[in-house]
Structure 1
Amino acid sequence: MKRILLLGLIGFALTGYCDDKVTKEYLVGKWDCSTKQYESKYDSKLKKYNDYSLRSSEQYKHTYKIVDGFLMAQINNGEAAKTDIDKVYKQPTIEGKRGNCEYTINRSLIKNSSNKFTWELEMFYACSYMDREITKTKSKNERVCTRIE
């Protein structure tokens, strides 16, 4: 009996009592958020991306509510929109093609603490044109939010 209890406790500890996932319930409330957008170009001679440079920065209020089982997000008292955060965990990487461009999008949602989370989105683009070499760029959006209420 003691062995079963001990194995159960070990399994519980290993599978993660960890509370590090951002859930709909966690997001409910008001948040103070700052978003930074970065961009980088590909140096074809060095065959690497340059360091990110800050393109823009913005501060705003974000409110989340659960309505009829759906998570609704509202920015600065604008119109609310349905949000599905489970997609970030189920499909953190998206690849596709639009026109002459191929893209890869990497997403992550991190619970920093009980009152703070980080949402990151990194996008890689490779576009080809008939008479020119492939143009590569990457951009990154980082949103850090701290709970107000």
Structure 2
Amino acid sequence: MKKLLFIGIFSIILAGCGDNKVTNEYLIGKWDCDTTTFTYINNLKQYFKLNQKKYHFNMEEKDGQLFTGSDVDERDFKTGKYSFELSDDTIINDVVAVKNGDSEFFVTIISDIYDKNSVDRSESAKLEAICTRIK
């Protein structure tokens, strides 16, 4: 679960419109993110807070793609709603990022995890982050 949330924070979809649009150029640089993670309880049909943490990462462009080198991992950035496989699970991420001024953006990531041996969703997690540019 922890690795999934780390992957999620670094799998930001570049979404928004007008002055709130998060672009590749905007994301290049060093960032501190205050994150809150939640887990979805099926029988209660709502998310509950798991923890809060702070992460630091440096966004760079390599060969025309964005990558982040962080205290967690290095990931490339993907656009649009997407899925990927991790061990015995398939993860579907839905991420929204909105710019708040020149040095801050907000991110919400919802990850649905499906066991490869089942058609039912086995787990869902949500991560919310406020990221501030480091000068």
Contact 2:36 2:129 in 1 (8 A): yes
Give the aligned CA root-mean-square deviation in angstroms. Answer: 3.4
Is residue 33–residue 55 contact of structure 2 (8 Å, CA) maintained in 1?
Answer: yes
Q: TM-score, normalised by structure 1?
A: 0.59
- Determine the structure 2 residue equivalent to 1:118: 106
Distance 1:105 1:71, change over 3 A: closer
Point out the more displaced range, 17-26 or 34-43. 17-26
Secondary structure of the equivalent of 1:19? helix
Greater helix share, structure number: 1
Which one-letter code corresponds to 2:81 in the other structure?
P
- 1:20 shift after superposition: 2.0
C-alpha distance after superposition, 1:36-62 (max 9, x if no partner):
11012111xxxx60x322112211211
Name the counterpart of 1:11: none
State which of 43, 48, 56 in structure 1 corresponds to 2:51: 56
TM-score when normalising by structure 2: 0.64
User: How far is the alpha carbon of 1:144 from its aligned partner?
Assistant: 1.6
Larger Rg: 1
Structure 2 stretches lacking a partner, 5+ long = 1-16
Count, aligned residues: 117
Structure 2 CA distance, aligned partners of 1:109 and 1:19?
A: 12
List per-residue Cα deviations over 1:9-34 (Å, max 9, x = no partner): xxxxxxxx823221121011111111
Provide the rounded CA distance (Å) in 2 between the counterparts of 1:61 and 1:102. Answer: 27
SS in 2 for 1:25: helix
Q: 2 CA distance for matches of 1:113 and 1:25?
A: 14
2:3 aligns to what? none
Once the 2 structures are TM-superposed, how far is the Cα of residue 114 of structure 1 from its aligned partner?
Answer: 1.6
Which structure would you say has the larger RCO, counting Cα contacts within 8 Å and 6 or more residues apart? 2
* Aligned equivalent of 1:83, options 76, 85, 92: 76
1:139 corresponds to which of 117, 125, 131: 125
5+ residue gaps, structure 1, are 1-16
Partner of 2:6: none
Identity rate, percent: 24
